[in-house]
Structure 1
Amino acid sequence: MRMEHRVRSRSVGRPGAVEERMVAGASETPARVGRNMLLDINRAEISRLKSLTGIGEHYAKKIVEGRPYHHREELLTKEILPEYIYGRIMDRLVANQS
Structure 2
Amino acid sequence: MKNLIIAALIFPALLITTATLAEASTKVMWGKTESRNGQIGKVTVLCTTQLYQKDHEGILRHSNRPLYKGEEFRVLKYETPSKLKLALLKTIL
Structure showing greater radius of gyration is 2
**TM-score (structure 2 length as normaliser):** 0.30
Task: Please give the TM-score of this superposition, normalised by the length of structure 1.
Answer: 0.29
Q: Which has the higher strand share?
A: 2
Greater RCO (Cα-Cα under 8 Å, separation 6 or more)? 1
